[in-house]
Amino acid sequence: MPYPKGMYFRASIVEQLPDPLSPLFADLVDGSVSRSLRALMNEAVGTNVIREDDVGLPTINGYAYYYYRTSGMWRVMGKALTAVRALARGQAHMGVAGWREFSHPRYEQVIKHWSAKPVTELSGAELLKGVQALLDAGTVYYTAVQSVIPLAATSEISFGAYYNKFVRREGDPPALTFILGYDSEPIRAEKSLYDLAAWARGVPGLASAILHEPTTALAESQRTGFPPAGFSEPLWQLWRLRFQDHLGRFGHAVYNLDFASPVPADDPSALLDTVKFYLRGQGADPHERQRHSAAAGRTKRAGSAPGSGRAAGPRSSVCSGGHRTPRRSARMRSPTSASRGRSCGGCCWN
């Protein structure tokens, strides 16, 4: 093992690192993660709780693991109640307000600063400095996001436990029904891609040109701006601008935090294949699916509403109003996580 006297986990940020790490990312992320955690804990529960080398992100056979030194873990556990109180009070810029008013704007400022620099004019040392600065901003931001997720999860779990124990009767909907049908960043991206395919069907010659062109050629032409063989210049530019708009809004979602892994804006092949899938008439309409989920949720919730004979007194308060908190918290998961994908020119989380 790289470090003795400790515990290794494949959890938290490591869940977003499913593949072996690229060498540069592996070298830089270890210290970056530990610095962000120490800074948060120092502000939330006091200094010297997480000490140097208490936390790391070492690799074993190329895969990242969370490492906690045993003594450091005991110190963190000893401060657990203090940390929970700090989270509940929004201290150390934690929670939804801290994310919205501090962490997210600061992350965007770092990105804006480095995005303004002409990459081709930077020296090797400057490029490395930029990569480290963006990665550090990303790990600090990820740590802030981690403080939002427990609030969402806790509200959902608490509501579900109360509903199942005190409210739900035979034939009533599951607790999840109360938060179905709402927008999230993945749902918005799916609807945008579906709408793009629907628009392409209405442009004479465009759908057939997309379907007959190899996906690799479409992706390369999207990068260069030059039309592939099966497109006229006007038809190609018409398509390219619409697709580029989709990439600008949704093409920076990350599924692997290693900055060497391309995002859809770098390699849109998977998205182009999805467009072809829709153009062939395959796949369900995400708008209709969402409407159906929302309608089903409203119908089932109505069965537990006051006057239905299924809920009364404290039961009705849970069914009519108690589900609002988990719905609000659940909606926060999407923008906080999606924003991790915004960064600078492939240097970090692009």
Positions in the chain whose pLDDT score sits under 50? 306-307, 309-312, 316, 318, 336, 342-350
pTM above 0.85, yes or no: no
Looking only at Cα atoms, what is the longest distance across the chain? 72
Distance (Å) of CA 256 to CA 16, 145, 148, 187, 250: 5, 16, 20, 19, 15
Q: Who's near 254: CB < 8 A, 6+ residues apart?
A: 16, 261, 263, 340, 341, 349, 350
Separation CA 91–CA 40 (nearest Å): 10
pLDDT tens digits, one per residue of 10-24? 888 888 899 999 999
Those residues with Cβ within 8 angstroms of residue 264's Cβ, 6 or more apart along the chain or in another chain: 247, 250, 251, 252, 253, 270, 271
How confident is the model at residue 345, as a pLDDT?
38
How is the chain split among helix, strand and coil, in percent rounded to 5?
65, 5, 30
- Residue 155's pLDDT is 79
Residue 139 · residue 36 · CB < 8 Å: yes
Q: Which pLDDT belongs to residue 219?
A: 96
Of residues 247, 221, 246, 245, the one with CA closest to residue 235: 221
> What Å distances lie between residue 205 and 94, 102, 127, 234, CA to CA?
52, 48, 44, 12
103/67 Cα distance (integer angstroms): 25
End-to-end CA distance of the chain: 32
pLDDT at 344: 41
Give the pLDDT of residue 307. 45
pLDDT in tens, 70-93: 887 777 777 777 777 766 666 667
pLDDT value at position 324?
A: 54
- Report pLDDT for 102: 83
| 9 SS3 class | strand
Name the residue ranges covered by the structural domains of the chain: 1-90, 94-168+324-350, 178-302
pLDDT at 170: 84
Q: What is the pLDDT of residue 343?
A: 45
pLDDT of 323 reads 52
pLDDT value of position 9 = 87
Local structure of residue 58 (DSSP, 8 states) = -
Q: What does each C-alpha distance from 340 to 37, 229, 244, 283 come to in angstroms?
A: 17, 36, 20, 28
For residue 21, the model assigns a pLDDT of 95
